[in-house]
Structure 1
């Protein structure tokens, strides 16, 4: 199969995966065309698929440039890590307590491996179709404007839900730190304002400078001064790690664990699985991350770095906290240690709680922003038109997320709902569907046994995504029906420590 461009004649695709085959001659850069590659594959007919230029076009001389990220800097790999390893890890220890150690660890590992592969599919699809900057653009390629609109609404909604979850978590953290010092609504409003202000930068490069908690520096790039403030990615990792060490020292209920919990009803057992799915639900932002790389091929490195760290960290933290704390684990897990340690850990985790929400918000806001000004140079300027429209979209998006946080003030339930409603599709069902479309774009023929097996495998991944969606929505609906959602727009304390801590 061959993919052609207006400038270079072809890009050869791998005969097994159907995605771009990387060779020594391949040179793919952010603003340029795909250069010709060669491959020894002979078992797939040559099929030509047109490829457009990338979403941001030629940025040479532009006042605002977007394709500035490199995976090895604190720009993409760390930014993806900050976006993924945030709220999800805080619910995982309790997931093990509900499911049991063995099925819990298996779910974390298996779903993580699958999420890594589906993320890889996104990166390869991006290489084959540089103009794609979002799932909505994929919808346009596959089925035209109707599917584009469906996926556009879906990807904006999932990001607004995640933004709302971060505002809710900020309220929980402040209640824990202050012992419910004031009305919870006031805390969430503070989180709303902070998120809005930090989300005002328009490029991921500038946001990344507030996404890593390790150093600060200043410099000048492209004639513009940047305050390079690296804050936050490590904060939640540090907070959870301190919690793990503290619980290991305190040993409140060491060894009181079960390998499997067969007594858990199916409808209740699905909920912690949805929390695990949520921990791998960053895929909706992957197209945007790849679009701002100087070399889109480096997305693979950023992905493997982020997923490798995430899966290992999830398993370690969940298993250790569950072993020492036993079945009585708070969620978020930072509250499973002593009151003082819990307050310290929540304080340390606050930067990521805020900034990871800002990263997701920037993806949603940027999609709407680029769509409004598509075909113009407004996005590359600092005019009142460009800045005013960006600020207006930021305001609407963050207000919507705050309303959602107040409407579903239950931490675990909101995370599970996000995992079921959106993670099932964007992380598990849609990437293999993209592979199936890409490999059977002209016909449904099966050119080899290996290709047939790959097709069956990707069909099974789609079925897995659909199962996660159906079962997850059933479990979330059951929980809401039985009053687990909490009181809407309430001043009540939404933080509940582990019972051994409360005693």
Structure 2
């Protein structure tokens, strides 16, 4: 029992420094994973899953209550250490944070440092499936585009597509869960979406996924800047240059983005969640008692018309419907962080319960909000929905609250995007300093300004909110949620199936006794035949998702070309589209 207390004390020491030691350890080890055989990773993962089933695992890593997890993740507090841990016990385990960076291929098993950090990593894995339900819900929930999607599709197609995309997202979430269970262990922990891709397809594929993640986060920030500029234009009743109003939020983002630690965003992020909930409830209450805002919708006053099925006649209507489908993709765009959530769970096997409940809850909220607002506003629905409230007081109130919550979200997206770009590329290519150093602080400041400046250019160049969200959904979000998981599963299943024809794995000497290599056709045929139906389904799923993404990108391009050709909107314009 004293050993457990000592490990807890060591883990608390590591966590209390904002996870710098564990983060450094993970970054150093990640490059070494590419030199370790998949046989060893799968072997260690099986041992890990068996260990998690034991009672001892529960005693050594007790579940943390949901309120405690919220306290740590959203309020930026350090985890509470066990009151029974004394300082004398902490001396039993020494965590040596020194590491010679010149030794890239050090032995992960024999190093005392690694063993101590494995124990520390074990201690910070404390989330339960109930906590994961809360985290997934708060990460994805934000259905302000749902009424626009329903308005472009109609009651029946809108509901069915929300259901279809929801079921597909639940399945791909299951695939990511399966991949995590087969590859993750305390010795070789998974910590991000890119980690899984890297272990299945290698480091170069992982770099491509990291690039796409950076692009998605950049465009997410651009969407927030554009939406905030649109909301501020409504508040000022169209006074002032529209591009300048967008620039205001880019500058504010540069200031907020100077917050380097995610923990310091904790309280603001939690507050932003409840701001969004208020906006959703206020929007439904207002639209049910007020006429639509015809000016914001860009239409003349007329009776509200709703349809069970939109005909889709004409290319423009078809493009709008595809754009609506890409907006629906936004509803299930949280798969990119599922691996992060699983990496913090005491028993990752329970993740599937939390994810299933969260997806069902999100589907219900999005669909109800979309149907209710569409019922009362029909063809006059504005995207985002709260900007279609006709009562100026409530419209202003919801806009201001949305502006504040959105800039917080933009700060979070920018923070993660800059860190991924910096650690994945700048540090490796240019040997840049660590962000925790004084030089790193200067580099961070410059990157934040450049990042938000680039997001401003994107937002001002494409001043159409629905089209921009459609583009982000088709280029980025759809890939992480629907395209990548099935092809990742295909690659992992193929490699594991091929092992069945090899000699037994030697865990002592870490020798994989393969009878052939992937250069031989025999290995490909043997691997595919083991579960050919499942493999074929995943290939078809991947191709269908890729085709959908391509169609969405094409449609977004056509919408942009049409709007610019018709003079509906121009880049860097002073004319507001909603005021």
TM-score range for the pair, normalised by the shorter chain length: 0.7 to 0.9
Distance 1:282 1:52 in 2: 32
Q: Does 1:24 align with 2:78?
A: no
The residue aligned with 1:95 is: 149
Structure 1 residues 17-416: aligned runs within 5 Å: 24-25=53-54, 71=127, 80-86=136-142, 89-127=143-181, 128-129=183-184, 131-212=189-270, 231-250=271-290, 256-265=305-314, 266-291=318-343, 300=352, 303-304=355-356, 306-340=358-392, 341-371=394-424, 372-373=426-427, 382-416=436-470
Alpha-carbon distance in 1 for matches of 2:490, 2:364? 30
**For 2:577, what is the secondary structure of its paired residue?**
coil
Say how many residue pairs are matched: 442
Task: Report which stretch shifted further, 457-466 or 287-296.
Answer: 287-296
**Match 2:569 to one of 479, 483, 486:** 486
Compare 199-208 and 445-454 and name the one that shifted more: 445-454
Q: 1:168 to 1:301 in 2, by over 3 A?
A: farther
TM-score, normalised with respect to structure 2: 0.66
Q: CA deviation at 1:397?
A: 2.0
Shift of 1:237: 2.5
Per-residue Cα deviation, 1:241-269 (whole angstroms, up to 9, x for no partner) = 21112212336699832111124443332
Bigger shift: residues 128-137 or 170-179: 128-137
Higher helix share: 2
**Between structures 1 and 2, the one with greater strand share:** 1
- Pair 210,125 (structure 1): closer, same or farther in 2 beyond 3 Å: farther
Query: Gapped runs of 5+ residues in structure 1?
Result: 14-18, 33-50, 213-230, 497-503
Q: 8 Å contact 1:236–1:350 — kept in the other structure?
A: no
The CA deviation at 1:489 is: 1.6
Unmatched segments (≥5 aa) in structure 2: 1-36, 62-106, 293-301, 499-522
Secondary structure, aligned partner of 1:483: helix
Look up the SS of the partner of 1:495 in the other structure.
coil
Map of 2:548 onto structure 1: 468
CA distance in 1, matches of 2:305, 2:51: 50
Please give the alpha-carbon distance, in whole angstroms, between the structure 2 residues aligned to 1:277 and 1:151: 19
Question: How far apart are residue 457 of structure 1 and its match?
Answer: 3.4
TM-score normalised to structure 1 length: 0.75
Deviation at 1:411, TM superposition (A): 0.2
Q: Which one is further off, 199-208 or 358-367?
A: 199-208
3-state SS of the aligned residue for 1:482? helix
| 1:202-223 alpha-carbon deviations (Å, 9 max, x no partner) | 44443232111xxxxxxxxxxx
Cα deviation, residue 277, structure 1: 1.2
User: Per-residue displacement from partner, 1:140-164 (whole Å, max 9, x unpaired)?
Assistant: 3344344233222222111111111
Residues 171, 191 of structure 1: 8 Å contact kept: yes
Distance 1:160 1:437, change over 3 A: same
Equivalent residue, structure 1, for 2:534 = 454
Match of 2:46?
12
Q: Which residue of 2 aligns with 1:16?
A: none
Aligned-partner SS, 1:279: helix
Q: C-alpha deviations, 1:111-150, integer Å up to 9, x for none?
A: 1221133233334434424555444444433443442332
CA RMSD, 1 decimal: 4.0
Contact 1:83-1:360 within 8 A present in 2 as well: no
| Paired residues of 2:154 and 2:307 also in contact (CA < 8 A) | yes
Alpha-carbon distance change, 367 to 321 in structure 1, aligned in 2, over 3 angstroms = same
